[in-house]
Amino acid sequence: MVRQQREEEKRGLREAIAVEAKRLGFEVASFVSAHKLPTERAYQEWLREGRHGSMHYLEKYQPLRVDPAKMEPGTRSVVVMLTNYHQPLDLLEGGLRIARYAHGDDYHDQIWDRMRELAAFIHAETGTEVATRPAVDTAPLLERDLARVAGLGWVGKNAMLIRQGLGSYTFISEILIGIDLGEEVEEAPQRCGSCTRCLDACPTGAIVAPRMIDARRCISYLTIELRGPIPRRLRPLVGDHLFGCDVCQEVCPWNRAAPISDDKSHKTRPVYQQLRPIDLLDFDHDRYVEVFRKSAMKRAKLRGLKRNAAVVVGNTGRLGDVDRLLEALSTEPEPLVRGHVAWAIGRLGTRDHRFRLERALVDEEEPFVRSELSWAMEELTGR
């Protein structure tokens, strides 16, 4: 009798939390006991193969990543939530192609505020001090695995969490709590079947096997996480992607009917609409702060966005853009950006532009930039 009463109390509390989560803007919430995840070996193998590229922070805190109970002392269960960020298009009028999750305000700030409210609600509902810790890709947790175990969807062949009726354009967030709210949840069945659209469509072949991403080839990694030069052989494959890539999600059949988010914080910022990739090459720090204030795009830093812009212009620009590129080559203080600008000139220019590169090479001291200038001159000579 006592056990049944406790289960009813837990069920009532879960229902109350789920209703409050919905009110705060989360699409759905689920509850799972804080147990060790079954994917530890696969994750360690992925790291050993070096598929995480230069994201060395993923090598840290491995015991915590697979066990939420170790993440926060006293954790007994996890509330796992999804937030819809889906926007109609990633390619904007001016030519910026931005992953949909970065069109609006920084999702960390928005979701953190909502999770704090939800955590406060849990405190109030339980009538006791409950240890809580909110996280949204800010803690060393394998969030997609947590969401899968919580029954919120399955991990598709593109390694994205997919929920039937919602798709994969979602943020995953968690609240680790010190009371037992876990419930027996049936995991969603794997519904990808024989479909390989995401593997076939990936521009760089980064999906090397179902649910296996080689970050070193992924456009999202190359344009956001990578701090150095984008490998020259991969630059043409980046195409017009300035920040991130949604291709594997765009081709997924489960996203055909994915609802558009009505959350104003996720809507595309008007300032992005008319901005052209080549315009970013003129940005200084003040303009960067003005345009990208409280934006997830700041993750790439100013020099990363300008590097990416040079690659996009080199892939999609016209001969008339070369003068702007040459100006950037002579005024840009960052060697990383200058090198990619030189590459873009080599892609778009003519033999008549070679002498300008020769002059730049005389004054250039950075080995990386000199290498890119030499490559560009060879390209223009052949042309």
CA distance 333 to 73: 47
Alpha-carbon span 270 to 104, nearest angstrom: 9
Instruction: Give the span between the Cα atoms of 69 and 64, in whole angstroms.
Output: 8
C-alpha to C-alpha distances, 108 to 134, 138, 293, nearest whole angstrom: 11, 8, 13
Among 137, 180, 200, 323, the active-site one is 137
Write out the H or E segment, with its range, that includes residue 372.
helix 367-382
Nearest to 222 by CA among 53, 25, 40: 53
Check if 246 is active-site: no
173's enclosing H/E stretch is: strand 170-177
- As beta bridge partners, residue 222 has none
Q: Work out the number of other CB atoms within 10 angstroms of the CB of residue 60.
A: 9
What distance in Å separates the CA atoms of residue 171 and residue 81, rounded to the nearest whole number? Answer: 8
For 124, residues 6+ apart whose C-beta sits below 8 A from its C-beta are: none
Which residue is listed with tokens 């970065």?
102
d(CA 255, CA 169): 8
For residues 348 and 317, give the distance between their C-alpha atoms in angstroms, rounded to a whole number: 7
Active site residues: 137
